[in-house]
Amino acid sequence: MKIGFIGLGNMGGPMALNLVKAGHQLSVFDLVPASVQKLTEAGAKAFASPAEVAAQDIDMLVTMLPASAHVRSVYLGENGILSTVKKTVLLIDSSTIDPQTAREVSAAAQKQGNAMVDAPVSGGTGGAQAGTLTFMVGGSEEDFARVKPILENMGKNIVYCGGTGNGQVAKIANNMLLGISMIGTAEAMNLGVSLGMDPKILAGIINTSSGRCWSSEVYNPYPGVVETAPASREYTGGFGADLMLKDLGLATEAAKVAKAPVTLGATAQQLYQTFSNQGQGGLDFSAIIKMLQKA
């Protein structure tokens, strides 16, 4: 297939490379020349703007951008995708953004005849490189069937979540729970260790008891408990605390619209905001345990 790809950062770069490896012809754009170069070296063609990529003879177009404002401007802005794209091109936004923006951008695309799905991912940069991401897809069932084979070149679980925006709903609900469970795990680990427990023994008990969760078992925030977790490499190379803060913000904003109480989600957001204000937002999100530990 001929595919456009815009946003070649930590996630988009390796995702686009996996599409090239699968034999697709890629037309790409990013603001950072070094990120574009990695793709052109692999065989992709570079263009000067989102509008230029969208004007090519392509079947689908994927975007992987930081946040809602970037998605709005790349689709709807001057020199944006919708200004030049042909009606036959299926649009896929994999950025994590708020469901409302996803629905508005999709409505604008559909108004001019383009099909569009939201398809945010989980699995981190490791999953993007290995092609094992989970895609949470919102849109029509017909469009889901069309994008599934392409997403399978970048991920291993491709899940239909319902109508437009529902991919984002699934993503932010999951990440809100992850933020909360990480803080809970950090509190429990810090409490136990402060009272004299060995962190590995404590984690072993939790992980065979009712407190067990992904944050305690796979991604334990206490250094040395899980060798492969960011906590065991000084909280580098994982999912940044500032990205978690962004996702908690999306969840609490969406909760206002839905009038759904998210007391723990809002508290988690405040704790990550404090952590970020302390200059720690670049560390992995499990580093929130540092805020609880005695100096």
**Positions that interact with ligand NAD (CB under 6 A):** 6-12, 29-32, 35, 50, 64-66, 70, 73-74, 95-96, 121-122, 124-125, 239, 243
Nearer to ligand NAD by Cβ, of 45 and 212: the residue is: 45
Angle, CA of 121, 125 and 129, to the nearest 5°: 100
Measured at CB, which residue is nearest to ligand NAD?
9
Question: Which of 171, 256, 259, 294 is labelled catalytic?
Answer: 171
Q: To the nearest whole angstrom, how small is the minimum distance from the Cβ of residue 85 to ligand NAD?
A: 15
Q: To the nearest whole angstrom, how small is the minimum distance from the Cβ of residue 81 to ligand NAD?
A: 10
Q: To the nearest whole angstrom, how small is the minimum distance from the Cβ of residue 60 to ligand NAD?
A: 17
Q: To the nearest whole angstrom, how small is the minimum distance from the Cβ of residue 13 to ligand NAD?
A: 7
Nearer to ligand NAD by Cβ, of 158 and 206: the residue is: 158
Catalytic residue list contains 87: no
Nearer to ligand NAD by Cβ, of 50 and 167: the residue is: 50
Nearer to ligand NAD by Cβ, of 66 and 163: the residue is: 66
CA 82, CA 54: separation in Å to the nearest integer?
8
- Please give the positions annotated as active site: 171
